[in-house]
Amino acid sequence: MKGKLTEEKVFKDPVHHYIYVQDQTIWDLINTKEFQRLRRIRQLGTTYLTFHGAEHSRFSHSLGVYEITRRVISLFERNEYPDWPREERLVSLCAALLHDVGHGPFSHSLEDIFDTDHEEWTCAILLGDTDINAVLRQVGEDFPAKVAAVIQKTYPKPIVVSLISSQMDADRMDYLLRDAYYTGVNYGTFDLERILRVLRPYRGKIVVKESGMHAVEDYLMSRYQMYWQIYFHPVTRSSEIILRQIFRRAQELHGQGYTFKWMAKPLEKLLANQLSLQDYVKLDESLAQTAFAEWADEPDELLSDLCLRFLNRQLYKYVTIENPDETWLAELAEALLAAGLNPDYHMEIDYPFDLPYDVYRPDQNNGEKREKAPILLLDNEDRISEISVKSDIVRSITGLRQGQYHLYFPEEPLRANKSLLSDRMRQLFKLD
Ligand code: NI
């Protein structure tokens, strides 16, 4: 087993200032090709088309999650809290660093189309024939499986899982701060140092000292704001819809035996749903962007149109609607068809709650598997309570399910030809 580096390595980071690496294993993991690939995958997918600063990578986020976890553990160790199992340090740090290593290009959009799951790929990378697996096995034969169990939330010590995956974990704390920084918004910030100082290991869980409640409120409010201002942003959704339609069309053409003028092997395997682990780790956003540029010249007009829209940011317009009405939708579909478009690809209704985010849910088990552990407060008399019981602010945003439908479609052809839609519909779809 390898120990500490003779000299600590330091990364400069705009969010955490510095990121410190002290273990040979962590340093070796960072230098594997599977981890370096994360430099070529953006943390926020297509958000850069809405907030141009959002070019940060999963590489920087993964280092950030590692650093927060390292700081929490070192606080636990310095204070000699008896409830922190010291032997779990390295497995926790490795899981933090590697928790997103299975993300593919534009993860969430592609997962919808190809029915893949980044968490399954993460485990495949940890356990399969990869450089990461080789580094982890140098710690112990069963070590890759232990790290995978933490990420899958099946590790026998829940305290380790909750560091990486709970309602207030190192993952969320890093992405909120990082996404706020790179998008340039003011509202994602909260006092990380204060939160880290009030965390306590307590009877197999991580809890928050009650005096830190207001810092946690601030964290949850920033999460609430980030979801609505950044993650659910309707313009980002528009770019995601077009991206999904590109891959949907490419897959459809591939299934029909269409011969692409340009194709890369890992992409072809993706379209055929035959990805091997070796193909998967060759997929990144540079390859996807190259494909869009090449496919813009394909003879298939639909694929070419979708790629040009994505590359040149000619996104679909959106209108907010209370309740989708079938007759309006039929009228819009007909107008798009008359304009030479394909409503099956050029029109979509979206409800923001289909997104993989939630603001805060205290209930540990509401039917979904592997619910994230709630935030627990510890008072001076050693009593535990769930935060929404004590905090009016948290209670007011807990389990919120507000949301509206958005209808997406290209507006230019409908603006260019006024006779395609009735006046009433033009008003309804805000085309005047
Ligand atoms: Ni993450």
SS (H, E, C) 101-147: CCCCCCHHHHHHHHCCCHHHHHHHHHHCCCHHHHHHHCCCCCHHHHH
Average pLDDT over residues 343-360: 75
Cα(294)–Cα(2) distance, integer angstroms: 46
The CA 171 to ligand 1 mean position distance, Å, reads 5
Query: Distance from the CA of 56 to the center of ligand 1, in angstroms?
Result: 13
pLDDT in tens, 194-211: 999 999 999 999 999 999
Mean pLDDT of 317-335: 89
Please answer whether residues 206 and 70 qualify as being in contact, where contact means their C-beta atoms are separated by less than 8 angstroms: no
Residue entry with tokens 């935060």: 387
CA of 84 to the centre of ligand 1 (A): 23
Average confidence score pLDDT of the chain: 92
Q: 394: which 2 tokens?
A: 């948290």
Query: Which residues does 288 contact at the CB level (< 8 Å), separation at least 6?
Result: 105, 106, 267
CA of 108 to the centre of ligand 1 (A): 12
Structure confidence at residue 82 (pLDDT): 95
Tell which wins on pLDDT, 64 or 110.
64
Angle at 55 between CA 51 and CA 60, to 5 degrees: 130
Q: Which of 9-18, 228-237, 392-401 has the highest mean pLDDT?
A: 9-18
pLDDT of residue 110: 87
Query: What percent of the chain is modeled with pLDDT above 70?
Result: 94
Q: How far apart are CA 132 and CA 129, in angstroms?
A: 8
Q: Where are the beta strands (DSSP E) in 153-266?
A: 199-202, 205-209
Which token pair is 350? 């979206």
For the segment 368-390, the average pLDDT, to the nearest whole number, is 85
pLDDT attached to residue 374: 87
Query: What distance in Å separates the CA atoms of residue 93 and residue 61, rounded to the nearest whole number?
Result: 14
Is the pLDDT assigned to residue 334 strictly greater than 90? yes
For residue 321, what is the enclosing H or E element? Answer: strand 317-321
Based on its alpha-carbon atoms, the radius of gyration of the chain, rounded to whole angstroms, reads 24
Residues 410-417: what's their mean pLDDT?
92
Residue 358 has a pLDDT of 60
Report the pLDDT value the prediction gives residue 252, as an integer from 0 to 100: 97
User: Rounded distance, CA 174 to CA 327, Å?
Assistant: 45
Q: What is the pLDDT of residue 316?
A: 97
Ligand 1 center to 356 CA (angstroms): 12
Compute the distance from residue 216 Cα to the ligand 1 centre, in Å. Answer: 19
Q: What is the strand order of the sheet 205-209 is part of?
A: 199-202, 205-209, 376-378, 384-386
**For residue 356, what pLDDT band results from cuts at 50, 70 and 90?**
very low
| pLDDT of 357 strictly over 70 | no
pLDDT for 1 equals 59
pTM of the model: 0.94
The alpha carbon of 185 and the centre of ligand 1 are apart by a number of angstroms equal to 20
Which SS3 state, helix, strand or coil, does residue 317 take?
A: strand
Where does 190-304 show beta strands of DSSP type E?
199-202, 205-209
CB 164, CB 149: distance < 8 Å: no
Evaluate if residue 69 carries a pLDDT over 90.
Answer: yes
